[in-house]
A and B are shown apart, each in its own frame.
Chain A
């Protein structure tokens, strides 16, 4: 009996560690794709961003985050408006992350800590980015679904990207009476401005 318990404990311990390793390895691979894109001088700014955008769209729970940050406005909108909003949001998310990661492209990093939050079924992975004068910790929140991982949030200096976006969007949505269609115009315009900055 005692032996069986030890075996079960051992298996649970091993699989939990393997899970964290697997998530970290997956994340490292995807982060490297983004950082390598910035180091590749043969890529034009536009192509570099498109590559980064594809990586982000493939690995972030973009639609889920889009719905979350839209809050109440989501429920009131028709299917077509939601679709346009999701497209706009995904580009917006990519522009935000690409812009931030660009600053880290010439620095080294390490995935220092991986922790599984059992209650919320989310893996928290700390990424320490080193510079000459110190380091900064970025925490990735990763969720698994159907044997795939999705980033659901990014935290820099205790500040959650998703919570900040929700606050920001809510403030703007209030100004347009939670009309997602009108908000789409604002978001599209902002994306154009951001895209021109990053791609040119």
Chain B
């Protein structure tokens, strides 16, 4: 029996069973154990919640009236220009990515990222074009927060930073380290062009925000507790970044069992 015939056979029976029991689709049971399959929300230590919520509200207003409108405007720029800005900013981050890869013992990744930096800074015209991606050198992000986590430093408590958004004690320390050791920022300051530092941060924020306009709006418009939703999202995203594994393997799997009543 050829693969095609078997497929048609399965599809046929799939369709029949689909129609036969479609009305039962919503009648699903779970086991009591299903409620205990993840404790991710209980692992988030948030002793500053009242203060964090106040800062979060402020950030939310700032996002609505400043960042989101600018990000929407930015998204109207020609795609090659947006890609160019994104590539340029990403290339500027690469030296610190290499440092963090070395600190985490990722020698091979560090070599690849260094290769990316050299190729994109030269052939890619100061990083405006991601030529390295085309020759198989994929972009990988690492920061001090991830490095500290790899060294066994715990999250610490959850913290919402004014304008910078969700973080925790470890990642905030990582962010400060980034600010202090970034060679591009250090060069700009040494050349008397300190204004470039906040400008770079602001453009980075707009570029990042422009990529998640729909996702953020979907979350914000449909959450019963937007603060808790963002907090959970932050931790899931960071855990995935720290562990450098396939997202589908890492994200806690809610073991929802399905049985027809």
A179 / chain B contacts, CB cutoff of 8 Å: none
Tell me which of A34-42, A44-52, A93-101 binds B: A93-101
Q: Does A111 contact B (CB under 8 A)?
A: no
Interface string of B183-219 (1 = CB under 8 A from A): 0000000000000000000000000000111110111
Type the 1/0 row for A116-160, where 1 means its CB is closer than 8 Å to any CB of B.
010010101010000011100101010101111010110111111
List B residues 204-261 near A (Cβ within 8 Å).
211-215, 217-219, 221-229, 231-233, 236-237, 239-241, 247-248, 250-260
Does A168 sit within 8 A of B, measured CB to CB?
yes
Q: Number of A-B pairs whose CB atoms are under 8 Å?
A: 200
**Chain B residues touching A, range:** 35 or more
Is A187 interfacial (CB 8 A cutoff)?
A: yes
Contact B222 A155 (CB under 8 A): no
Q: Are A172 and B224 in contact (CB under 8 A)?
A: yes
Q: Is the CB of B258 within 8 A of A133?
A: no
CA distance A9 to B6 in the complex (A): 17
Please name all residues of chain A whose beta carbon is closer than 8 Å to the beta carbon of B18 when the two chains form the complex.
148
Q: Which of B9-48 contact A (CB under 8 A)?
A: 10-11, 13-14, 17-18, 21-22, 25-30, 32, 34-35, 37-38, 40-41, 44
The answer on a CB contact under 8 Å between A164 and B221 is no
A163 touches B257 (CB 8 A): no
Chain B residues with a Cβ under 8 A of chain A: 3, 6-7, 10-11, 13-14, 17-18, 21-22, 25-30, 32, 34-35, 37-38, 40-41, 44, 79, 82-83, 86, 211-215, 217-219, 221-229, 231-233, 236-237, 239-241, 247-248, 250-260
Known: A67-B34, A120-B255, A158-B241. 16 other contacts (CB 8 A): A68-B30, A71-B35, A86-B26, A99-B218, A103-B213, A132-B79, A139-B247, A141-B253, A147-B14, A148-B21, A159-B232, A159-B233, A163-B232, A166-B254, A167-B229, A172-B224
